[in-house]
Chains A and B, each alone.
Chain A
Amino acid sequence: MKPSRPALTLLAALALAGPAQAAELTVWHAYRAEEKAAFEKACAQYAAGKPGTTVTTLAVPYDAFADKITAAVPRGKGPDVFIFGQDRLGGWIEAGNTVEPLDFFLDEGVKGRFIPTTLQAMTYRGTVYGLPFNYKEITLIYNKKLVSAPPKTTGELVALAKKLTDKKAGRFGLAYAYSDYYYHAALQNAFGGRVFDEGKPVLNAPENVKALDLLLKWIDAGIVPAEPSTALITSLFNEGKAAMVFNGPWFLGEIAKEVDYGLARLPTVDEAGGKPMRPWMTVEGLYVTAPSKNKEAAYDLVKYLTDVPAATVMALEGRQTPSNKKAYDDPRVAGDRVLSAFRAQAETALPMPNLPEMSMVWSPATTVMNTVTRKAATPQGALDKAQAQVVKEVAGLRKRP
């Protein structure tokens, strides 16, 4: 019957400072090193502008982060705001009482500040559940010593790659983890391929088959190494034995110091009628939790963190590619060749699906990639089989009452 101490202090705080001001916000994130420092700085900036508001950030180890959210938030033990990629978003929405819908708070000004595809990644069944914070996607990274002008089309790419490939010496014109479905998706999306169509799995769509056919052509042309593990690609590139790679910002830290590299947009695909390669984009969002007691204050924080000042800090000090497109107007951001290259690539990138059923696609899709690239199955046959498996698993999940 007795009100608890925290409740009393909260009441007292409310009574003293008025409703909208006093808020103790907690944010969970999985950042380390410079990202963590930049994020804490941005939060401190916010708190400095809002007397009475305190922002506590807690770094949770990434491995345990998603499980911790799933377990703690619906029971009211979680933070007010947390940061995570869009891949788990659908699952959390379906499980309920985890992520607060934000449409009600959103106005055109806030919506308009984002690169549209990043906001799309935060949208589930027509409702926005988070504000996009930053994004990652793969782009073309090339060795400037070997490639003077990056190819604009796949025709140029293949011709250049053929010239630079010398299989006996272990040199390849192009290297990327093509047997990883995530990397392959860039090619598949160029053809208009997709995994879900209006919520239904369509893994064996004709466009997906065409993309695999083209990949097989590249493999047969011998311009890419066999069994491309991430380690192999890194060492090839660092030894100057791979002229061009398709890779993301995580790769840049692994490039050896002596390699002079350039970044460019992924080429357009001649076989797909000149459409650009469209890599999958993973977007980290800032989510307000549904059981939070300070939703409005939490939204205010989230709004601030995605605004230009915070985005600039995250970009310059945290080395993130912010989703706020106005952040790139800052000359320091625009002048950064890495940030601007990934910003340019974002124009053609597509958000990776955030449906919870996506977690059922990865394993069959990996099987497709492994069997097709090793010639153990035809593209059509392998995709049909994967489609049947995904349909079975999805149907198991979506039983009618």
Chain B
Amino acid sequence: MAGRPSHRLRFGVGLALAAGLGVGVSYLLLAAERRQAAAAGEERRAVVATQALAELVERAGRRGEPARRAVGAWQAGHDRVRVARVVALEGISLEASTAPEDQGDKAAPRRLARDEKALYDQGQRLRAAVAANKEGGAPKAEIEAQPLTGGALRLATPVLEEGAVTGMVQIESTPSEPAPRPPLFPAILAFLGPLVLFGLVSAVLGQRRLPLAFAAAACLALGVGAYALHSLAAVSSGRALAQQALAQSVQAEAGAVRAALSAVGLHEAPPLRPGTWDADAYRRPRGLLGPDGKVDEAAGASEAAAARGQAERALWGVAILAMALLLLVGLGGFQKLAATLVANRQAYFYVIPAMVGMLVLVFFPFIYGIALSFTDSNLYTINQPLTDTWIGLRNYGDILGDFGVARRAADGSLIFNYLNFYWTLAVTVLWTVSNVTIGVSVGLLLALILNTPGLAARPLYRVLLILPWAVPNYITALIWKGMFHRQFGVVNHVLRLLGSQGISWFDTPATSFLTALATNGWLSFSFMMVVSLGGLQSIPAELYEAARVDGASRWQRFKAITLPSLKPALVPAVILSVVWTFNMFNVIYLVTAGEPGNSTEILITQAYKFAFERYRYGYAAAYSTIIFGILLAYSAIQNKLSRATEAA
């Protein structure tokens, strides 16, 4: 294409793409909503049936012949329930079953067979759930639903006797018809309408850019808006119909239970409350039906409004996305992007694998971790979506806002709260500073010794001194932990040879900290030694010669030549080493394990313990995010400082 592209064509293409996106996604959303609504309706209907059966079984005596006959009579009136089973927990017995495979010599009542263990375990699970929920434990589902093939469901609900669960009923529904797809005609109309309209208007407007943009936006808003209104109306009417259908099925269910009761010669006393059968997973009535099973208009309206609000938000999101696409294409941004992509295609091609890797391995876990830090996710809620456990900044407030580090005891001594964030932070800082100091000074000293001219067997020493670094650090950590063992450790053994009692190293915070410090000092000096040695060997000997000629002392030479020459090598090594030590999980976790009483934890091990010993994943994620923030601030400052020193 030569010359300037046509604005009209660009807006036309942009409008087509945007309308396609807006209407297409809305159509898919509507279809998904219908599928979901159908599945939810199916499940609610099945829940009503299960609850009704449980009530029938409770009224028919829970076990024995009357219960069996009642279940048989109930099954006869249900063509959409394939199987109904009643299990009594005591005696592990199948009390009733309408399954074709449970006839003849396998007919109820009988003890459950070994391959039916899952049935009994489910009953036990429901019993535990009811008991736990009553005690105020972590909420657990009291009605278990499990999808089978073809949209069929298997549901189980407890059978109660004086508030305690003594059994369970389970039903399997027949496969249901898939939900019909929403009609295509309105969608096509909403897509083509704006295009035709824009074609007519643009014929009048010519190639003027701004009016074309407004016209295209208006046409898009018209098309997508109209389809959104249509979708909302469809959702609302669908809900109302589903509500009616459910009310009908509750009535039918009540009729079936009454019939089954009279079939076994029982009266309906006290009267049934069919509306309560429409319950959520915790067996709490949803309240959308009155106790008699008729639709409760007020409750239904408020629930419908909430659902409508949700659908509206989703449609608004789609509309904004479509508008953005229109403007991107129409105003030429898309063209520019495509042009750079084509121009630099080789570069992008090479970068793609790394980008995908980073995305999957770094950015996704990172963003997930940060999102997790705003939630109250824990052992019990780990399976819920993050939005359900969202608590905003509370974790951060709890961590950073607690200043109760220490308190004074009656005898005047201080008592520290070792779980406090600021205590752990102080330990971490002390840990980092002391370790890096030890690492640098010991490493530098050894490097200076190794750098002595004419030293015999230098390669041998170098290999020996680098070994601590070459051995995997957790192995070193475990060896050192053993060496500090109070009874069998070599350190105490030596102390005892010298006439001391031996120290129980992990009993006080200070000695415990020392053990970790010794271990990490051992682990870190090699690296510093290698870096310093490399730096030392690159210093030209002439500098020292010249200094000696000028009469400089050893110390002066060290200060004026060695240290400045080493700086370019040492500064990055120190920066790195600070970050490594700050997050040195292995040594703390394996050597001191935080003993005594979490006093020697550093931030990273404390975060680990919050996550995997106290099961508070959200809190631990917030802890980790704070650690990240600290290290980010540290690198930013360090970067600035080191650049300043380099410039000087």
Contact = CB atoms under 8 A, between A and B. Distances in A.
Given A199-B137, A366-B597, A397-B615, A235 B501 contact: yes
B409 A371 contact: yes
Q: Is the interface of B mostly helix, strand, loop or mixed?
A: loop
B410 A126 contact: no
Given A94-B379, A231-B504, A359-B613, 10 more contacts: A104-B92, A127-B128, A199-B132, A235-B501, A356-B615, A370-B597, A374-B415, A376-B409, A396-B376, A401-B384
> Of B112, B121, B408, B417, which is in contact with the most chain A CB atoms at under 10 Å from its CB?
B121
A329 interface: no
A398 interface: yes
A375 B413 CA distance: 11
10 contacts: A101-B121, A104-B92, A124-B128, A126-B124, A356-B615, A363-B419, A363-B597, A397-B615, A398-B139, A401-B388
A125 interface: yes
B407 interface: yes
Interface in A357-401: 359-360, 363, 366-367, 370-371, 374-376, 393, 396-401
A127 B486 CA distance: 41
Contact of A63 (B380, B415, B487, B590): B590
Interface string A125-145: 111000000000000000000
B493 to A, nearest CB: 15
What are the 8 A-B residue pairs with the smallest beta carbon separation, nearest first? A376-B409, A231-B504, A125-B128, A199-B135, A398-B138, A375-B410, A104-B117, A229-B507
A230 B379 CA distance: 33
> Of A104, A124, A363, which is in contact with the most chain B CB atoms at under 10 Å from its CB?
A104
Nearest to A363: B419
Interface string B452-492: 00000000000000000000000000000000001100000
A178 to B, nearest CB: 15
Given A125-B131, A374-B415, A375-B409, A398 B376 contact: no
Contacts of A231: 486, 504, 507
B136 interface: yes
Contacts of A393: 614, 616
Contact of A367 (B135, B137, B410, B417): B417
A103 interface: yes
Contacts of B248: none
A371 B597 CA distance: 13
A375 B117 CA distance: 55
A307 B565 CA distance: 74
A220 interface: no
A266 B376 CA distance: 43
A230 B504 contact: yes
Given A91-B379, A199-B132, A398-B136, A296 B507 contact: no
A235 B389 CA distance: 51
Nearest to A374: B409
Contacts of A126: 124, 127-128, 131
A397 B138 contact: yes
Interface in B400-445: 407-411, 413, 415, 417, 419
Interface string A194-206: 0000111000000
Interface of A: 63, 67, 70, 91, 94-95, 101, 103-105, 124-127, 198-200, 229-231, 235, 254, 295-296, 356, 359-360, 363, 366-367, 370-371, 374-376, 393, 396-401
Contacts of A124: 128
Contacts of B378: 396-397
Nearest to B382: A95
B139 A400 contact: yes
Nearest to A370: B415
A399 B124 contact: no
B507 A200 contact: no
> Of A101, A125, A235, which is in contact with the most chain B CB atoms at under 10 Å from its CB?
A125
Contact of A198 (B114, B135, B138, B409): B135
A389 to B, nearest CB: 10
Interface in B585-626: 590, 593, 597-598, 612-616
Contacts of A70: 612
Contacts of A374: 409-411, 413, 415
Interface string B107-144: 00000101001001100110110011001111100000
Interface residues of B, number: 50
B381 interface: yes
Nearest to B135: A199
Contacts of B132: 125, 199
A332 B487 CA distance: 31
Contacts of B135: 198-200
Given A70-B612, A125-B132, A396-B376, A401 B139 contact: yes
Contacts of B117: 104-105, 295
Contacts of A360: 614
B415 A359 contact: no
B415 A67 contact: no
Contacts of B138: 94, 397-399
> Of B136, B381, B413, which is in contact with the most chain A CB atoms at under 10 Å from its CB?
B136
B136 A94 contact: no
Nearest to B124: A127
A372 to B, nearest CB: 10
Contacts of A103: 120-121, 124
B415 A376 contact: yes
B120 A104 contact: yes
Contacts of B131: 125-126
B514 to A, nearest CB: 16
A367 B599 CA distance: 12
A355 to B, nearest CB: 9
Contacts of A91: 379, 615
> Of A63, A95, A397, which is in contact with the most chain B CB atoms at under 10 Å from its CB?
A397
Contacts of B137: 199, 398
Nearest to B593: A63
Contacts of A254: 487
A90 to B, nearest CB: 9
A181 to B, nearest CB: 11
A53 to B, nearest CB: 17
Nearest to A95: B379
B601 to A, nearest CB: 11
A124 B138 CA distance: 14
A375 B411 CA distance: 8
Given A126-B128, A375-B410, A200 B136 contact: yes
B380 to A, nearest CB: 6
Contacts of A295: 117
B124 A359 contact: no
Contacts of A125: 128, 131-132
Contact of A399 (B114, B389, B409): B389
Nearest to A127: B124
B488 to A, nearest CB: 10
A356 B379 contact: yes
A367 B537 CA distance: 55
A231 B137 CA distance: 39
B478 to A, nearest CB: 8
Contacts of B92: 104
A105 B116 CA distance: 11
Given A200-B135, A397-B138, A371 B415 contact: yes
Nearest to B487: A254
Contacts of A376: 407-411, 415
A94 B120 contact: no
A103 B92 CA distance: 9
B415 A229 contact: no
A94 B120 CA distance: 18
Nearest to B381: A399
A104 B121 contact: yes
B328 to A, nearest CB: 41
A304 B239 CA distance: 58
Nearest to B119: A104
Contacts of A127: 124, 128
A296 B117 CA distance: 11
